[in-house]
Structure 1
């Protein structure tokens, strides 16, 4: 039997869920999602797979949360993106938002992998990770909500 992780009593399971659902920052949202799953009795490994992160990284998140509480979950943005530029320009991101709205109006949705393929087609970049598709869905939704 797999041992369940224990979380410090900084937040209840319901509070972790709300933090996950209300987080507007993608990295923090994924971290809260992981912690919420663990609080529901999932193992770290199961939770890491469910939210799409590496097991060792998940263990690190749990440790930081247990040691520091909310500050351990917060994503500290660097001034530098390590030389990497965004996959989509602002215009392409707006086009993705329009595509998502169009699908929603027809009662359809786009998945992370579908958006990753859309990004490949739109940009000519090969082998965009499926997770990046999900990240850009969240960015486009945030853009649509703020416009």
Structure 2
């Protein structure tokens, strides 16, 4: 069973959802969606299916977000 990705608590789940839904830039919005879904405890495979992004790309995004916060988006 794959382990869930750990997301740093730079923002809470409600703030991540708000950024995902209100950000006008489509790429940035999708990146917030990925972090938001993972922060809710979704599996990487589920996030891949919903967003169309690869596991490798998702891991890279999470690493940047965990290290840099929203400036990593």
TM-score normalised per structure 1: 0.48
Deviation at 1:45, TM superposition (A): 2.7
Q: How does 1:1-147 map to 2 (within 5 A)?
A: 1-73=1-73
Deviation at 1:43, TM superposition (A): 1.7
Equivalent residues, number: 73
Structure (1 or 2) with the larger CA radius of gyration: 1
Query: Considering only aligned residues, what root-mean-square deviation do their CA atoms show, in Å?
Result: 0.9
Partner deviation per Cα, 1:123-144 (whole Å, 9 max, x = no partner) = xxxxxxxxxxxxxxxxxxxxxx
Deviation at 1:2, TM superposition (A): 2.0
TM-score normalised per structure 2: 0.93
Partner deviation per Cα, 1:26-56 (whole Å, 9 max, x = no partner) = 1101100001110111122321221111111
Structure 1: which 5+ residue stretches go unaligned? 74-147
Structure 2: which 5+ residue stretches go unaligned? none
Question: Partner of 1:69: helix, strand, or coil?
Answer: helix
Question: Partner of 2:5: helix, strand, or coil?
Answer: coil
Partner deviation per Cα, 1:66-116 (whole Å, 9 max, x = no partner) = 00000100xxxxxxxxxxxxxxxxxxxxxxxxxxxxxxxxxxxxxxxxxxx
